[in-house]
Structure 1
Amino acid sequence: MQVSIKWLNDYIKFNETAEELADKYTMSGVPVENVIRADEGLDKVVTGRIEKLEAHPDSDHLQICQMNVGEPELIQIITGAQNVAEGQVVPVAMVGAHLPNGLHIKKGKLRGLPSNGMLCSAEELKMDLTKLTEEEKNGIYILPADTPVGVPAKDVLGLDDVVLEFDLTANRADCFSVVGLVREAAVLTGNEPHYPEISVKEDDEAKAADMIKIGIESDLCDRFAARVIKNVKVGPSPEWMQQRLEGAGIRAINNVVDVTNFVMVELGQPMHAYDYDEIAGHSLTARLAKEGENLHTLDDSSRIAKGTELVIADSEKPAGLAGVMGGLESEVTEKTTTIVLEAASFNGASIRRTSRACGLHSEASGRFERGVDVTAIPRALDRACQLLQEMGACTVTQGMVDVYPKQKDQTEIHYTAEQINARLGTQLSAAKMMEILTSLGFAVQTEGEGFVAKVPTWRNDCTCMEDLSEEVSRIYGFDNIAPTLPWGAVMQGKQSPRQDFIDKIKEILVGLGMTEELSFSFTNTDLLDKMLVPADSELRKAVPIMNPLTDDYPLVRTSLLTSIMENAVRNFSRKNMDLRLFDVAPVFFPKQLPVTEQPEEVVKLVGLMTGRRNTVGWNQTNDMIDFYDMKGLVEELLASLSISKYTVEAGEHFALHPGKTALFKKGREVIATLGELHLQAAENFGIKQKVYLFEMDVEVLMKYTAKNFHFDSLPKFPATSRDLAIVVDKDAEAGKIEQVITKNGGKHFKSVTLFDVYTGEHVAEGKKSLAFNLQFQSKDKTLTDEEADTAFNNILKAVEKQFGAELRA
């Protein structure tokens, strides 16, 4: 938003310089980014008349000008311009001038004759060349013959303005208008504003309601109003209006368009002008676009509607994108004689979405996004008609067509002086607060021991006591509020124990050759289907996302397995077939659907291994990763986390291969699940090689990690080992046999290791041979063979009894 000081001065007079006013605005929360002076470098440029012109005696192109610049004597200036003549009035840069183009004017000589200044062209004065004819652009700029001499050229050329460039925050929609900025200036300077008097003479006998029908078919439009003007004469707007629009950064087009832009900047209400004869059915309706409709806008671009855009439509087609840009077919042209002026209030979020989706941003959309004063719409329409009437460009029909289905209630805020003082750290009186709020347009009344403030209709950003306190503080002056240090308990920032534990897991797995992946917290039912998640599983009770980033991920994930498999497939598609991935991230379980409270967040750990066991090399084998590589990795992770005394047994998991799934347990609680990806799941993902997965719950791991440690001295006495080879049923689990061995090994038992599994010759059908290495050791002495044999025999008897084991010869 930018506006010229001249425009502000039209409605309020102030003694402050532009820089001082800009500082007041900024310190009150209406920041001014730049102060742009159109007269920069024109301090010593005046008007001058060429009283005498003669050729230079020593040059074939230089001319000697005797200039009248309002001083007692003529000054001599030598110029090379060929478009000057005696009697012309031109801009003259006096000695000492610093022109906008950087040129410094000094006394000098040209071919031996003195020259005391320079005649100026439009380009040297940095004038707007787009408004000039080709003749005016070339050579010295010639002023009208009746221009007085010796006066500052900036006054004559209209370059005496200063533009304030505001960097407004989104909440201050009221300041996106000259009237809104004048309101602020009145409070900041203490001067009285004088707003334009708006009155319309309805000088045409026709009635607007008979000529145009207005309708609203979407709750995204709060109010929709229109006036009809006839006998329109489209032409250039007055010079003063063009200058005001130029100061606001808007290019003048014609009187109709310029008036709508002028009112938009002046009052903050965008509006649009339609050629009445191009409106099918002579009706305009605010409605949602129909999917597939063609949206042909003023920039001569066509877009296909998605069905979510708000449009202004006639009886046949959209006549414009509501709040963003009008339609090309109903554009006002020089042939237009009857115009419908339309003004409305639209839902800001809807306009913002449409503007971004279409890649269109306009002055109008920027204001609608922030919100307009819905009660000021009739005033804006009347103002536009008034301005066109004053130009003699139209007649105005009787009445206004206004559709306003739900009247806006005025917001009321209850507060006490103590509340505001407590929040600001001030000791302001209630009377002072009332004075400030009243000056800003709030209607304040006492209510018991407190007050109630009625918010003006143009301040949509004020809804609560905290907003009122901000209004009081910014006008009272932030510099006048004593600074105080906030009080609070001093706490050292650090990670939680769970965060430290997760970091430790990541460090261990990276050290084991794994790579951490990062994934989105979203999923879809297709991924759950591919992972063979049962229909009645809790994993399918996922939280739906109201506004998903894409239609492909409408759910919040309940399992990390879907995420890691997606990443694996993405790697496979890029020919990266050797993977060791892991992910530590939260999954989310709703307590009920639809969601009424915060879902439960559970941090899970998953890992994936597939491909070659070793890196490619001449001295490496091409063996593929198998189940025991993954099992060994999980065992190493648990050991590094100081989790011990767990059992490993065969188990089941919907996504893993039956018979190739293991459960790590502490008591009855599963601390890890690992196995080979189910063949059907692999086929669903299009994977043609074996993939191994593990899944753990971080909270469960934390629960079982050792908290207290004790250290044993190195053993002074050697260990004794025995090998136990037994034949058992083929379905007997080695893990359970190890549990029995450990339980019956006696006080000197140290460890058991399975080192051989054999089926085949010399082993009966339905049987298998397991060979274990048993270690015995005492802290106090060297064990005798008899002591080791006794322990060995106890173990043998126990496995014979519980598993029907036979000692293998």
Structure 2
Amino acid sequence: MFVSYKWLQEYVDLSGITPDELAEKITRSGIEVEGVEVLNEGLKGIVIGHVLEREQHPDADKLSKCLVDIGEENPVQIICGAPNVDKGQKVAVATVGAVLPGNFKIKKAKLRGEESNGMICSLSELGIEGKLIAKEFSEGIFVFPNDVTVGEDALEKLQRDDQILELGLTANRGDCLSMLGVAYEVGAILNREVKLPNPAVKTISEKATDYVQIKVEAKEDNPLYVAKVIKNVTVTPSPLWMQGRLMAEGIRPHNNVVDITNYILLEYGQPLHAFDYDRLGSKEILVRRAKVGEKMVTLDDAERTLTADHLVITNGSEPVALAGVMGGANSEVKADTTTVLLESAYFVGPTVRKASKDHGLRSEASSRFEKGVDPNRVRAAAERAVELLALYAGGEVLDGEAVVDTLQVEPVVISITLEKINRVLGTNISIEEVANIFTRLQFETSVDNETITVTVPTRRGDITIEEDLIEEVARLYGYDNIPSTLPMGSSTPGYLTTYQQKRRTVRHYLEGAGLYQAVTYSLTSEAKATQYALETREPIKLAMPMSEDRSQLRLSIIPQLLEVVKYNVARQIDSVAVYETGPVFLSNGTDALPDEREHLAGAITGLREQHQWQGEKKEVDFFVLKGILEGLFAKLGLEQKVEYRQAAVEGMHPGRTAQIYLAGQKIGFIGQVHPTVQKDLDLKETYVFELSLETVFAEEVAPLQYESIPRFPSITRDIALVVGKEKVAGEIESIIVEAGGKLLKDVHVFDLYEGEHMEPGKKSLAFSLKYFDPEKTLTDEEVTKVHEKVLAAVKEKSGAVLRG
């Protein structure tokens, strides 16, 4: 809602309050003022001039040489390019030294050899948007009425010496979609009187009911319809002050009749519509629901196909308006209109909203009906409109009105105690202060001991319960005046559960390792539902899926992550590393809810390192991803309990896949995606893993213990063992660790040999073993004793022999 500061002064005394100060006070009372616009900011030197002579420029077909009286001692010559400039016009002139929008300064100039001392301006050159300029002046200069005085400030006459407050209204404050509604609000904030218009309408002896009869079939949609008739109307441009106010409020002027209905819409918040009585084609107005497939042409010259959900105004047979939204072209007020039928009605919001949405017609009228207009302003707005039509269109108002009134609206009455107000707000406001606040709001109030009974006016449809009254007290008392208090009573501070802490640790670690978090659908297709599942069960199908691609609940996260990788690679992001923590769903049969379990999955492809200066590139491989997981398990304190075993998993590379075990229990797998799957997805080598997070987090972790920095040296021994090709290094490593006891601190594989010097079916695995005692320096004898024990255990349990 745009609010004119000058216009608002007609209803509330704003002396001593600047527009910026008023904006601050309104914002602090609960309605945000999004901005204050100074309409004539930076503009100066623009006056009204009188074109005394106009002749063709001798050297330019599209220029005119004008002699213009600008209120100074002598008229000045101005060269003008507007096609509509002519002798006798009153126009806006930017004099020499004037400043126009964009800091454009007017200087003396010569145009095609002729001197020009100023500029005759169009409205757009004065900073008014083109969509707000009347059609007749949209492609030329603006011509003032003849009653303006030469030399006066043109911007003042155009109502541009004003400031506009833009209110950011919430849906419940439809009462402030009018100047009177804002006046009530400002009057309450400033504790000043609100002056309302007092229409005085002279009528002629003829009766409105002799000209039109009103029938309403859809009384639930339209409980009140008032029609006024005005004869002998002369359609001309509206007064200059009214045009200026409409443009400042973002509405384009048309003619005096249409402009007056728009002016009342802004002033009262009550939409009106003016019909050309002679074009209606009957003496009847029938309000009904539209017939299915019925058509009408609205004022924007668009044909609309109606349904039974739409409310229409008809002349008894055909629609002449889409109720509350837009009038029909067949009854439009035009230049030759002499008799006007003025509609002022109460249409219910949902019906108007339905028509507005269906036809994509969001109008000033529809927005107000949707939020709810004041039913007690319907007749008052009509009276004010006919007063202005008589004054500015020369109309004769017929006596009375044609009306259908089945509206039953009673003001809301709410009682509340002072104790509740103070208890909710944490204040100590007196009963007199509370009563004064409601009086400032112009709510009828009665006080009985400490109980206040408030009769809420119908203009405030947002107030229906006690809490609404408390809000009114709070905002007008001043939010800044409400004391700060600490919560009372016992409370438990929020904290993360152990599970949540571990999940957060996992996410922070993986992001620190260079993986991005992905969030994918839990719904997938039938083909992907069981792929890569850690535990296979019958997939769960949705009863009403959005599509076949989202028809089943997933059993694994990996298929979705592969889609993420594919999506990025297809967009030339060749190196991708993503992870996701999310649920998978395991069926318990048709009559039971599924188990929802949280899994962790990751996928990487492309380069893990790239040093452009050295020209070095390193591709990701199995051990990069395994290293990330080993770091994760170390972070969780589980590195000593995790074991990797070579395995075959459907959809994974047969030689580069391992099952992951935690304390002997299988918790997931890691490996390369099968080459055929990679080819189908247009991927290079891609490595994935998936773990059951619930199992990982449920594992008991020993308390963290610190060890002092070693004071004694360690001893390293390397061994090369010849074993059968089927033996895996992890199995032998476990035997070594078990046999090494407390002195063996570290074991790792550093070489694999399967060359020509090996007998068939054999291979050589080389291990590095580190021995260390924190209490003393180990002797060779002590290390040899343990080392021989290790060799004996390896030979006995795996058949390995030392390589000669």
The TM-score, its normalising length taken from structure 1, stands at 0.65
Hey, what's the Cα distance between the residues in 2 that align with 1:530 and 1:648? 26
Is residue 743 of structure 1 aligned with residue 735 of structure 2?
Answer: no
Match of 1:694 in 2: 689
1:449-499: CA deviation from partner (whole Å, max 9, x where unpaired): 6445454433344465554344224434567x376586899x999999558
Flag the 1:190–1:600 CA change in 2: closer, same or farther, 3 A. farther
Match of 2:258 in 1: 257
Hey, what's the Cα distance between the residues in 1 that align with 2:569 and 2:673? 15
Task: Indicate the SS of the match to 1:193.
Answer: coil
Q: How far apart are residue 433 of structure 1 and its match?
A: 0.6
Q: How far apart are residue 265 of structure 1 and its match?
A: 0.9
Q: How far apart are residue 691 of structure 1 and its match?
A: 2.7
Match of 1:110 in 2: none
Of 563-572 and 438-447, more deviation after overlay is shown by 438-447
Match of 2:792 in 1: 793
2:513 to 509, 512, 531: 509
Q: How far apart are residue 177 of structure 1 and its match?
A: 0.6
Hey, what's the Cα distance between the residues in 1 that align with 2:281 and 2:756? 94
Match of 1:564 in 2: 561
1:12-69: CA deviation from partner (whole Å, max 9, x where unpaired): 6676676587776566455664485889999999999x9xxxxxxxxxx99999x9x9
In the TM superposition, 1:202-281 aligns within 5 A as 203-205=208-210, 208-210=213-215, 214=218, 226=225, 235-236=235-236, 239=239, 242=243, 245-246=246-247, 248-272=249-273, 277=280
Residue identity over aligned pairs, in percent, reads 23
Give aligned pairs, total: 727
Hey, what's the Cα distance between the residues in 2 that align with 1:401 and 1:448? 43
Counterpart contact for 1:5–1:164, Cα < 8 Å: yes
Is residue 581 of structure 1 aligned with residue 577 of structure 2?
Answer: yes
**2:524 maps to amino acid:** T
1:541-576: CA deviation from partner (whole Å, max 9, x where unpaired): 89999xx9x999899999653553232112332355
Q: How far apart are residue 264 of structure 1 and its match?
A: 1.6
1:666 to 654, 662, 671: 662
Counterpart contact for 1:64–1:77, Cα < 8 Å: no
Task: Indicate the SS of the match to 1:529.
Answer: coil
1:684-728: CA deviation from partner (whole Å, max 9, x where unpaired): x63365432113466766667775133362653534444443448
Task: Indicate the SS of the match to 1:475.
Answer: helix
Flag the 1:553–1:127 CA change in 2: closer, same or farther, 3 A. same
Counterpart contact for 1:611–1:624, Cα < 8 Å: yes
Counterpart contact for 1:758–1:768, Cα < 8 Å: yes
Hey, what's the Cα distance between the residues in 2 that align with 1:564 and 1:457? 58
Hey, what's the Cα distance between the residues in 1 that align with 2:266 and 2:617? 74
Match of 1:112 in 2: none
Q: How far apart are residue 437 of structure 1 and its match?
A: 1.6
CA RMSD of aligned residues (A): 6.7
Hey, what's the Cα distance between the residues in 2 that align with 1:746 and 1:99? 93
Task: Indicate the SS of the match to 1:167.
Answer: strand
Flag the 1:380–1:741 CA change in 2: closer, same or farther, 3 A. farther
Hey, what's the Cα distance between the residues in 1 that align with 2:798 and 2:92? 116
Match of 2:195 in 1: 193
Match of 2:375 in 1: 375
Counterpart contact for 1:411–1:454, Cα < 8 Å: yes
Match of 2:173 in 1: 172
Hey, what's the Cα distance between the residues in 2 that align with 1:529 and 1:380? 67
Is there any run of 5+ residues in structure 1 with no aligned partner, and where? 51-60, 70-75, 105-117, 217-221, 511-515, 594-598
Hey, what's the Cα distance between the residues in 2 that align with 1:761 and 1:317? 103
Flag the 1:749–1:590 CA change in 2: closer, same or farther, 3 A. closer
Hey, what's the Cα distance between the residues in 2 that align with 1:365 and 1:340? 17
Hey, what's the Cα distance between the residues in 2 that align with 1:639 and 1:349? 64
Flag the 1:558–1:352 CA change in 2: closer, same or farther, 3 A. farther
Hey, what's the Cα distance between the residues in 1 that align with 2:415 and 2:541? 44
Hey, what's the Cα distance between the residues in 2 that align with 1:457 and 1:556? 52
Hey, what's the Cα distance between the residues in 1 that align with 2:742 and 2:662? 23
The TM-score, its normalising length taken from structure 2, stands at 0.66
Hey, what's the Cα distance between the residues in 1 that align with 2:586 and 2:412? 37
Counterpart contact for 1:727–1:806, Cα < 8 Å: no
Counterpart contact for 1:647–1:664, Cα < 8 Å: yes
1:307-339: CA deviation from partner (whole Å, max 9, x where unpaired): 9x9865689999888866666677554577786
**2:75 maps to amino acid:** T
Match of 2:722 in 1: 725
Hey, what's the Cα distance between the residues in 1 that align with 2:548 and 2:346? 36
Match of 1:525 in 2: 524
In the TM superposition, 1:250-649 aligns within 5 A as 250-272=251-273, 277=280, 298-299=299-300, 332-334=333-335, 341=343, 344-347=347-350, 354=357, 362-364=363-365, 366-367=367-368, 371-373=371-373, 375-376=375-376, 378-379=378-379, 382-383=382-383, 386-387=386-387, 390=390, 392=395, 399-400=402-403, 415-422=416-423, 424=425, 426-444=427-445, 450-451=451-452, 453-462=454-463, 465=466, 467-477=468-478, 481=481, 501-502=505-506, 504-506=508-510, 508-510=512-514, 516-520=515-519, 522=521, 524-526=523-525, 529=528, 532=531, 560-576=557-573, 578-583=574-579, 605-611=600-606, 627-639=622-634, 642-645=637-640, 646-649=642-645
In the TM superposition, 1:33-48 aligns within 5 A as 33-34=35-36
Q: How far apart are residue 180 of structure 1 and its match?
A: 0.8
Flag the 1:475–1:697 CA change in 2: closer, same or farther, 3 A. same
1:235-292: CA deviation from partner (whole Å, max 9, x where unpaired): 236537546535644332134422431232122133555777599x9876678999xx
Q: How far apart are residue 430 of structure 1 and its match?
A: 1.8
Flag the 1:458–1:351 CA change in 2: closer, same or farther, 3 A. farther
Hey, what's the Cα distance between the residues in 2 that align with 1:761 and 1:474? 92
Is residue 775 of structure 1 aligned with residue 769 of structure 2?
Answer: yes
1:769-808: CA deviation from partner (whole Å, max 9, x where unpaired): 67464737363432365653344323433446xxxx9999
1:557-596: CA deviation from partner (whole Å, max 9, x where unpaired): 99653553232112332355x5340235555989999xxx
Q: How far apart are residue 421 of structure 1 and its match?
A: 3.1
Flag the 1:455–1:81 CA change in 2: closer, same or farther, 3 A. same
Hey, what's the Cα distance between the residues in 1 that align with 2:609 and 2:39? 72
Flag the 1:791–1:346 CA change in 2: closer, same or farther, 3 A. same
Q: How far apart are residue 81 of structure 1 and its match?
A: 5.7
Task: Indicate the SS of the match to 2:558.
Answer: helix
Counterpart contact for 1:45–1:92, Cα < 8 Å: yes
Task: Indicate the SS of the match to 2:375.
Answer: helix
Flag the 1:762–1:340 CA change in 2: closer, same or farther, 3 A. farther
Flag the 1:165–1:492 CA change in 2: closer, same or farther, 3 A. same
Task: Indicate the SS of the match to 1:265.
Answer: helix
Counterpart contact for 2:297–2:329, Cα < 8 Å: yes
Of 171-180 and 753-762, more deviation after overlay is shown by 753-762
Hey, what's the Cα distance between the residues in 1 that align with 2:319 and 2:25? 45
Match of 1:79 in 2: 75
Hey, what's the Cα distance between the residues in 2 that align with 1:757 and 1:64? 104
**1:676 maps to amino acid:** Q
Hey, what's the Cα distance between the residues in 2 that align with 1:614 and 1:603? 31
Hey, what's the Cα distance between the residues in 1 that align with 2:734 and 2:518? 39
Task: Indicate the SS of the match to 1:634.
Answer: helix
**2:349 maps to amino acid:** F
Is there any run of 5+ residues in structure 2 with no aligned partner, and where? 53-64, 80-87, 106-116
More strand by share: 2
Match of 2:55 in 1: none
